[in-house]
Amino acid sequence: MIASGALGPGSRLPAERDMAKQFHVNRASVRQVLKVLEMMGVLTQRVGDGTYLSMSAEAILNEPLDFLVLLDDLSHHELFETRLIVEPELAARAADRATAEDLNSLRAAVTAMQNSASTEERLAADMAFHDAIFRASGNRICQLLFKRIHRTVLTSMSHLSNRVALEQPLAFHKRIYTAIRAHDAEAARQLMREHILDARSLLSQRPDTKNARL
């Protein structure tokens, strides 16, 4: 139904009895499938209203990475290595493809970080900056995946925010923004790499995170 377009993002699903009849299965089978899809984030149950398809793939990707981190014992090293492999290239592509709207989003995120008055505001501005780069790169798959990875890394590093001078990440953000605005792909690529390496070195300075697992 989703593949055929009969159900689009935000659409309400037919009643269980109607789907059971349509697919020639009993209602218990339909109910089990709906429960699994709800747990995956594909569907949302609204009490007294019905079952709806999620509005976007982002809702489906919100939790699985967190579960993988817990179940597979992923390390900070692996997450940062993944970022180093892909994010510099996304920054370079953002420099080639950024629209005026993308540049406005980047500038707003830099300003928000500069004016942040709490750890929460600082982390939110950090997320917004990187998400704007992922979006400007023009690759929606990378945008969805690396937004989740970046959120996971930031969550694990939140305890460092009060001890790391704001000027350090802010300076990187400003320089990356300048490179993207100038459409300098190579500079954006190199600066993003340096930014990620700097963040990784900050985390590795903590004695209890030398071999840290999330």
105-158 pLDDT tens trace: 999 999 999 999 988 899 899 999 999 999 999 998 888 888 878 777 777 666
Does the model's pTM come out above 0.85?
A: no
pLDDT at residue 82 tops 70? yes
* Together in a domain, 173 and 194: yes
Percent of the chain surpassing pLDDT 90: 45
Specify whether the CB–CB gap between 137 and 180 falls below 8 A: no
Over residues 193-207, the pLDDT tens digits come to: 999 999 888 776 654
Question: Which residue(s) pair with 75 in the sheet?
Answer: 213
Q: Which pLDDT score, from 0 to 100, does residue 213 have?
A: 41
Q: Which pLDDT score, from 0 to 100, does residue 162 have?
A: 61
CA 194/CA 197 separation, integer angstroms:
5
* Side chain identity, residue 25: V
Identify the H or E element spanning 132: helix 119-136
* Together in a domain, 45 and 65: no
> Which structural domain, as residue segments, surrounds residue 33?
1-55
Average pLDDT, the chain: 84
Strands (E), the chain: 43-46, 50-53
Residues 6+ apart with CB under 8 A from 107: 177
* Together in a domain, 118 and 192: yes
If you count them, how many residues does the chain have? 214
Q: Which pLDDT score, from 0 to 100, does residue 98 have?
A: 97
* Together in a domain, 93 and 151: yes
Residues 6+ apart with CB under 8 A from 158: 119, 123
Kindly state whether residue 214 falls inside one of the protein's structural domains: no
Kindly state whether residue 76 falls inside one of the protein's structural domains: yes
